[in-house]
C-alpha cells in the first residue's frame, strides 16, 4: 500500500488516531448557556493538573493588561472570560491526547510551541486590530497543524522522513509530497472530519497554506491563521528542526483583513510576548 492510502485508511478507520478525550469532549459540550457552566469549566480544568498548568501558562500570555499574574483557574475565568478559557483549555486538551513517548519529546515540544504561539498571535491580532470574535481564534490558531500532530503521533517514521527531506533543503510541501504524497493539511482534514470539529476549524486546518479566499464561509479566520502561522515562523517558532521559507500570501491576507503593516504587527507582538513565557510552556 502506498503511504497516502496507508495514512488515510488507518485514520479513517480511527485505528491510529486517538479519539477526543473525556476532558476535551466535556469542554466542547459546555456551550450556549455560559453562566450555568462557569463552575463546571473550572472543575474540569482543575481535575487535570498537567492540563491546568499549561492552561494557566497560556492564559497569562494571552492576558495582557495586568502586572499581577493569573494564578488559579478561577482567576483566569475572571480575567480572560469564559470563552477564552474554554478555548485555551480545549486546545490544550487536544494536544494532551497526542502526547508521545519520551524519546519524541523534543519534536513534540517544537510542534506544541509553534501551535500555541500561532493561537496566541491569532487571538492578539483579532483583539488588537480586528473586530473578529477573538476567543474562537485562539483555537483556530492552536489547532491549525492538527495534521502534523497526527503524523507525529501515529506515523512517526514518516514524520522523521519529512523532517530529513526538509533538512536536505526541500520546502515543507515538497518534503511531504515526497514522503507521503499528501500534505499535513489533508491529513488534518481526515482527523477533523470524524471528530466533528466545527466547520471554521476544518477550513483552517485544510486551507491554512492556501489562498484564504478558497474558504467559502470562513475566509477571515483562514486569513488570520495563515498570517499568524507566518508570524510564528518570523518569531522563530516553527514546527520542524529547521526554519523553512514560508509561502506567505500577504496580498490576499491584506485584501481580506484590515491590518497595520507587518512591521507594526511584529513590533507589537515582540513587545507583548516574552520568549521566557513561551519556553516555560
Residues that bind Fe ion (CB under 5 A): 145, 229
What minimum distance in Å lies between the beta carbon of 148 and Fe ion? 6
What minimum distance in Å lies between the beta carbon of 173 and Fe ion? 9
Cell of 191: 482527523
What minimum distance in Å lies between the beta carbon of 158 and Fe ion? 15
Residue closest to 86 by CA, chosen among 6, 9, 32: 32
Residue closest to 45 by CA, chosen among 20, 79, 82: 82
What minimum distance in Å lies between the beta carbon of 90 and Fe ion? 18
Comparing CB distances to Fe ion, the nearer of 136 and 176 is 176
Contact assessment for residue 139 and residue 201, using Cβ atoms and an 8 Å cutoff? yes
Comparing CB distances to Fe ion, the nearer of 73 and 166 is 166
- Give Cβ neighbours of residue 36 (< 8 Å, ≥ 6 apart): none
Q: Is 50 exposed, middle or buried (0-12, 13-18, 19+ CB in 10 A)?
A: exposed
What minimum distance in Å lies between the beta carbon of 159 and Fe ion? 13
Comparing CB distances to Fe ion, the nearer of 37 and 152 is 152
What dihedral angle (degrees, nearest 10) is formed by the CA atoms of 97, 113, 81, 228?
A: -120
CA pair distance 100, 269, nearest whole angstrom: 30
CA pair distance 83, 61, nearest whole angstrom: 16
Comparing CB distances to Fe ion, the nearer of 87 and 115 is 115
Comparing CB distances to Fe ion, the nearer of 4 and 74 is 4
Amino acid at each position: 500500500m502506498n503511504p497516502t492510502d496507508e495514512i488515510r485508511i488507518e485514520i479513517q478507520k480511527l485505528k491510529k488516531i486517538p479519539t477526543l478525550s473525556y476532558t476535551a469532549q466535556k469542554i466542547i459540550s459546555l456551550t450556549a448557556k455560559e453562566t450555568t457552566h462557569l463552575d463546571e469549566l473550572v472543575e474540569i480544568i482543575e481535575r487535570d493538573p498537567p492540563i491546568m498548568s499549561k492552561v494557566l501558562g497560556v492564559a497569562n500570555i494571552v492576558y495582557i493588561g495586568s502586572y499581577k499574574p493569573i494564578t488559579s483557574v478561577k482567576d483566569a475565568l475572571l480575567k480572560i472570560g469564559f470563552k477564552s478559557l474554554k478555548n485555551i483549555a480545549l486546545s490544550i486538551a487536544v494536544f494532551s491526547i497526542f502526547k508521545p513517548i519520551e524519546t519524541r519529546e523534543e519534536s513534540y515540544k517544537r510542534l506544541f510551541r509553534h501551535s500555541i504561539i500561532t493561537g496566541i498571535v491569532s487571538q492578539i491580532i483579532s483583539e488588537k486590530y480586528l473586530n473578529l470574535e477573538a476567543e474562537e481564534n485562539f483555537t483556530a490558531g492552536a489547532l491549525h497543524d492538527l495534521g502534523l500532530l497526527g503524523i507525529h503521533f501515529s506515523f512517526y517514521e514518516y514524520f522523521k522522513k519529512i523532517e530529513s527531506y526538509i533538512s536536505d533543503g526541500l520546502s515543507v510541501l515538497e518534503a511531504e509530497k515526497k514522503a507521503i504524497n499528501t500534505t499535513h493539511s489533508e491529513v488534518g482534514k481526515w482527523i477533523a472530519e470524524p471528530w466533528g470539529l466545527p466547520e471554521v476549524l476544518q477550513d483552517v486546518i485544510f486551507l491554512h497554506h492556501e489562498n484564504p479566499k478558497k474558504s467559502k464561509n470562513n475566509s477571515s479566520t483562514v486569513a488570520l491563521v495563515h498570517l499568524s502561522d507566518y508570524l510564528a515562523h518570523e518569531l522563530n517558532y516553527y514546527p520542524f528542526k529547521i526554519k523553512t521559507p514560508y509561502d506567505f500570501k500577504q496580498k490576499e491576507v491584506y485584501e481580506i483583513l484590515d491590518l497595520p503593516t507587518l512591521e507594526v504587527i511584529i513590533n507589537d507582538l515582540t513587545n507583548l510576548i516574552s520568549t521566557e513565557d513561551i519556553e516555560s510552556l
